[in-house]
Amino acid sequence: MAALLHLTQMIGGAAHAGDAAASLPVHEPVTGEAFATCPAGTQDDVDAAVRAAQQAFPAWSSLSGEERAGWLHRLANAVNEHAEELVHAESRDAGKPLKLAREVEIPRAAQNLRFFAAAASQFASESHHGTAGLNYTLRAPLGVVGCISPWNLPLYLFTWKIAPALAAGNCVVAKPSEITPVTAWMLGELAREINFPAGVLNIVHGLGPVVGKALVEHPGIKAVSFTGSTAVGRQIAAHCGPALKKTSLELGGKNATVVFADVFKDSARRERLLDTVVRAAFQNSGQICLCGSRILIERSVYADFRDAFLARVRALRTGDPLDPSSNLGPLVSRAHFDKVLACIALARDEGGHVLCGGEALSLEGRCAGGWFIAPTVIDGLGPDCRSNTEEIFGPVVTLQAFDDDAHALALANATPYGLSASVWTQQLERAHRIAAGLLCGIVWINTWLLRDLRTPFGGVGQSGLGREGGMEAMRFFTEPKNICIQLD
Ligand code: NAD
């Protein structure tokens, strides 16, 4: 058996092993075996990281935007130079197909760093000239900020948070998920190799209710940027509200894919529609907050769409993420695997018909102990049942038929979440009308997960508070100050 990889904390530019006896096992979802250990950080680690960040803040915040951009570009270069190691680590830690890590997630991590490097040099603030004199706005970094990220897109989301925080001149204490901590640790090691200024980026590993909570509640933390579950987001809001601490909360989703008959009937469009709806449903085994897990279909094409969709889903291969022919890997953890199976059981209890999948898969060889679930499609459930209102976050989708635009909107909006939606029609006015009527933060028309990093990203309702992306993130990580000059 290969030796375990031992991760370390990165505090003040140094690696700290922590108490080996109290370290947390990191499991490989494909085998169910531990392959690494992660330090179980403590309040003391968070205190030390905040102190290191406070010491680094005056020098880092005094650098010009171009100088900070230079450091982010150097970190992005290091990610690119070590991309293949990061791809393998991400695939192993999260159980995601190698292809997905190689083609999407690790390149995007480097892109996040470069995008916000550009933002550091191009960030500007407003000025207003009028009867109330000349006003301009200064935007200063906040100080030390906390960034907490989840397990589903580990390095992609970790960099999406730390990059704007650093670009805007803040120092960061970041906490990756204890379930998938490896690539964040590797990024910390790369930062140390390129002599990234000590204390500017600190990475503290450990359990959410210990390290995450200590970070959120630390009086030295001026703002919290969190991506994760709605339940934890609510706890963070409950602390940060009374403490008057700035928060950005990117939470769960239960997104609708709305398919109008015209696209399905158009043979030139049908393939792309079906391919994209399948990808939106099952990419990363459905473990993406933006996945389209409720597919709404215009009734006139419901049966034909269902059959064509099912044929594609049955052709998906669930298997070893290292095998290039695998479309889906395992679920990320034993606990999550159990949760998703319980959701499928609940859907059956609620009267749902499982049209395909619906069970755990026992694979052979090195995958024998892995947490695999077959891609699952369910119909026969109404909009109000738990299967259609609560986030499952696995390879499970439901189908529902709608009669007209108003019905489509009523079904799409029938959840407390409001992150994203994907609408499929070639009728221009209808597309805009539906997009305007959807209660969510992001609407894709005839596509899914096409991202321009300059756009506002986030949700409404139980999907969160605030927006990330582009200048929204730069504004979140800075405090505006109005300067007013009377001109007479
Ligand atoms: P989670 O809420 O369990 O954990 C997220 C992070 O918060 C982890 O680092 C965890 O250690 C930490 N944490 C846990 N308890 C904490 C506490 N009490 N205080 C502070 N930090 C704490 O979420 P998860 O299971 O890792 O991720 C899946 C969830 O994330 C899904 O609901 C998904 O929809 C959501 N998500 C949302 C977005 C988005 O952009 N809206 C993106 C990805 C994932």
Catalytic residue, chosen from 289, 291, 343, 367, is 289
Decide if 68 contacts 229 (C-beta within 8 A): no
Residue 158 falls inside a structural domain: yes
CATH, residue 205: 3.40.605.10
**Do 354 and 476 belong together in one domain?**
no
CATH, residue 338: 3.40.309.10
Catalytic annotation on 250?
yes
Residue 424 and residue 410: Cα distance in Å, rounded? 16
Q: Where are the beta strands (DSSP E) in 54-156?
A: 127-130, 133-141, 144-148
Q: What is the pLDDT of residues 212-230, one digit of tens each?
A: 999 999 999 999 999 999 9
Distance 249 CA to ligand 1 centre (A): 10
Angle between helices 182-193 and 154-167 (to 10 degrees): 40
**Do 99 and 206 belong together in one domain?**
yes
Would you state the pLDDT for residue 52? Answer: 98
List the structure tokens of 476.
């979140």
List the structure tokens of 129.
């000239």
Of residues 4, 91, 27, 90, the one with CA closest to residue 369: 27
Q: Range with the lowest mean pLDDT among 21-25, 335-339, 360-364, 397-401?
A: 21-25
Cα 378 to the chain's mean position, in Å?
25
Would you state the pLDDT for residue 219? Answer: 98
pLDDT average, residue stretch 365-391: 97
Distance 456 CA to ligand 1 centre (A): 20
Q: How confident is the model at residue 256 (pLDDT cuts 50, 70, 90)?
A: very high
Would you state the pLDDT for residue 169? Answer: 98
Residue 488 falls inside a structural domain: no
CA neighbours closer than 13 Å in the CB half-sphere of residue 48: 18
Residue entry with tokens 């102190």: 51
DSSP designation for 105: I
Count of CB atoms situated within 10 Å of the CB of 362 = 10
If one residue of 227, 336, 453, 462 were mutated to test the ligand 1 pocket, choosing by the most ligand atoms within 8 A of its CB, it would be 227
CA torsion angle 467 473 475 476 (round to 10) = 70
Residue 373 and residue 418: Cα distance in Å, rounded? 26
Residue entry with tokens 């791809």: 87
Q: How confident is the model at residue 383 (pLDDT cuts 50, 70, 90)?
A: very high
- Tell me how many domains the chain contains: 2
Q: How confident is the model at residue 1 (pLDDT cuts 50, 70, 90)?
A: low
**Do 130 and 271 belong together in one domain?**
no
**Do 241 and 262 belong together in one domain?**
no
Q: What is the pLDDT of residues 142-161, one digit of tens each?
A: 999 999 999 999 999 999 99
Quick check: pTM over 0.75?
yes
List the structure tokens of 220.
């030295």
Q: Which atom of ligand 1 is nearest to the CA of 232?
A: 2
Q: What does the radius of gyration of the chain's CA atoms come to, in whole angstroms?
A: 23
Decide if 37 contacts 6 (C-beta within 8 A): yes
Distance 488 CA to ligand 1 centre (A): 54
Q: How confident is the model at residue 22 (pLDDT cuts 50, 70, 90)?
A: confident
- Lining residues, ligand 1, CB within 6 Å: 148-152, 157, 175, 177-178, 208-209, 212-213, 216, 227-229, 232, 235-236, 250-253, 289, 391, 393, 419, 459, 464
The secondary structure of 202-226 as a DSSP string is: EE--S-IIIIIHHHHH-TT--EEEE
Residue entry with tokens 């070639």: 426
Residue 52 and residue 49: Cα distance in Å, rounded? 5
Q: What is the pLDDT of residues 91-115, one digit of tens each?
A: 999 999 999 999 999 999 999 999 9
Q: Which domain holds residue 356?
A: 256-452
**Do 390 and 276 belong together in one domain?**
yes
Q: What is the pLDDT of residues 432-460, one digit of tens each?
A: 999 999 999 999 999 999 999 999 999 99
**Do 433 and 475 belong together in one domain?**
no
Count Cβ atoms within 10 A of the Cβ of residue 271 and give its class: 0-12 exposed, 13-18 middle, 19 or more buried. exposed
Residue entry with tokens 């397990």: 151
Q: Which atom of ligand 1 is nearest to the CA of 153?
A: 43
**Do 238 and 324 belong together in one domain?**
no
Beta 372-373 vs 396-402: how paired, if at all? unpaired
**Do 294 and 178 belong together in one domain?**
no
Residue 225 and residue 38: Cα distance in Å, rounded? 22
Residue 235 has pLDDT above 80, yes or no: yes
Residue 279, classed as helix, strand or coil, is helix
Mean of per-residue pLDDT scores for the chain: 97
**Do 163 and 296 belong together in one domain?**
no
Catalytic residue, chosen from 28, 250, 298, 472, is 250
Decide if 15 contacts 48 (C-beta within 8 A): no
Residue 457 falls inside a structural domain: no
Distance 213 CA to ligand 1 centre (A): 12
Residue 319 and residue 322: Cα distance in Å, rounded? 8
**Do 191 and 268 belong together in one domain?**
no
Q: What is the pLDDT of residues 302-330, one digit of tens each?
A: 999 999 999 999 999 999 999 999 999 99
**Do 366 and 237 belong together in one domain?**
no
Q: Which atom of ligand 1 is nearest to the CA of 419?
A: 41
Residue 476, classed as helix, strand or coil, is helix
Residue 458 falls inside a structural domain: no
**Do 214 and 290 belong together in one domain?**
no
Residue 330 and residue 317: Cα distance in Å, rounded? 11
Distances (CA, A) of 62 to 122, 124, 145: 16, 16, 17
Residue 70 falls inside a structural domain: yes
